[in-house]
């Protein structure tokens, strides 16, 4: 008998009597008067920066300037220009990536996170390996809680996805918060109205 068989048999023999799943009612969830304001407040508290924009002019200009000054920029947002194809790039190849611009699917007000699909990233490592990360999300795609997010998303649609909340951080050294651990050192979020 394999370990698999042994384990499953032991579990089947030892598991308790059937208990029902709970009924989760959205009526019991926190409601925010202004989800956008809540999202901005929370994002700020976790080390990110949020700004509302009406169009992409400023961002396009920003990308142009960065490229001019020699920063390596990867753009994954169609509205900002041609998409950089990075599917087959290795970590070694992407190591020196300075800034990545990624489109987010939706944002969650209660905790400042944004869902990114792999297809939006272009390459799974991009949002982690870049020094600085910029994400654009439609303001109308801000939902109150994670329950709403999972209701709207199909998180199993692609091979990888992430809820990303702010820049990377750690407090492992005597509980002192340091922004910028192994992932991006900063996160700027632009909410398109």
Partner 1 sequence: MSNTLNHAQAAANFIADEPRTNWHNETLWFVRQKRDKAAHGLPEWEKLREWASQIKNHTLSHLDEYLIEFEKNAKANGVQVHWAANGDEHNRIVYNIIQQNNVTKIVKSKSMLTEECGMNEFLHEKGIDIVDTDLGERIVQFRKEPPSHIVLPAIHLKKKDVSDTFHEHLHTEKDNHDPQYLTEAARQHLREKFIEAELAMTGVNFAVAETGAFVVCTNEGNADMGAHAAPIHIACMGFEKIIPKAEHLSVFLRLLARSATGQPITTYSSHFMKPRPGQQVHIVIVDNERSKQLGRTDFKNSLKCIRCAACFNTCPVYRRSGGHSYHTAVAGPIGSILNPNIDMRANADLPFASTLCGSCSNVCPVKIDIHDQLWKWRQVLVAEGYVDTTKKIGLKGMAYLFAKPGLYRFAGKAGRAVMRIFPFLVNNKLNAWYKQREMPAPPKQSFRDWYIKNKKS
Instruction: Return the DSSP state at 101.
Output: E
Beta bridge partners of 190: 51, 136
**Stretch 146-185 residues interacting with partner 1 (CB under 8 A):** 146-147, 149-151, 155-156, 158-176, 178, 180-184
Cβ closest to partner 1, residue 63 vs residue 112: 112
The distance of closest approach from Cβ of residue 39 to partner 1 in the complex, given in angstroms and rounded to an integer, is 11
Contacts of 157 (CB under 8 A, 6+ apart): 117
Give 72 or 150: the residue with its C-beta nearer to partner 1: 150
Tokens of 21: 């799943």
Interface with partner 1, residue 46, by CB under 8 A: yes
The minimum distance between CB 37 and partner 1, in angstroms, equals: 15
CB of 50 to partner 1, least distance (A): 15
- Measure the CA–CA gap between 89 and 72, rounded to whole angstroms: 14
Sign of CA dihedral 64, 81, 121, 47: positive
Residue 120 within binding range of partner 1, rule CB under 8 A: no
110 binds partner 1 (CB under 8 A): yes
CA angle 77, 84, 47 (to 5 degrees): 55
The CB-of-7 to partner 1 minimum distance in angstroms stands at: 5
């Amino acid at each position: 008998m394999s370990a698999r068989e042994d384990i499953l048999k032991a579990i089947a023999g030892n598991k308790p009597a059937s208990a029902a799943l709970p009924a989760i009612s959205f009526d019991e969830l926190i409601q925010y008067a202004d989800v956008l304001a809540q999202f901005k407040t929370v994002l700020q508290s976790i080390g990110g920066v949020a700004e509302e924009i009406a169009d992409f002019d400023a961002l396009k200009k920003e990308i142009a300037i960065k490229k001019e000054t020699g920063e390596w920029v990867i753009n994954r947002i169609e509205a900002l220009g041609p998409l950089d194809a990075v599917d087959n790039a290795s970590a070694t190849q992407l190591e020196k990536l300075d800034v990545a611009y990624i489109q987010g699917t939706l944002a969650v007000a209660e905790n400042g996170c944004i869902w990114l699909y792999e297809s939006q990233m272009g390459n799974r490592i991009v949002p982690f390996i870049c020094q600085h990360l910029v994400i654009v999300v439609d303001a109308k795609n801000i939902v109150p809680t994670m329950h709403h997010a999972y209701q709207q998303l199909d998180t199993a649609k692609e091979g990888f996805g992430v809820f990303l909340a702010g820049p990377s951080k750690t407090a492992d050294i005597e509980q002192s918060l340091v922004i910028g651990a192994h992932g991006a050192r900063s996160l700027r979020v632009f909410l398109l109205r």
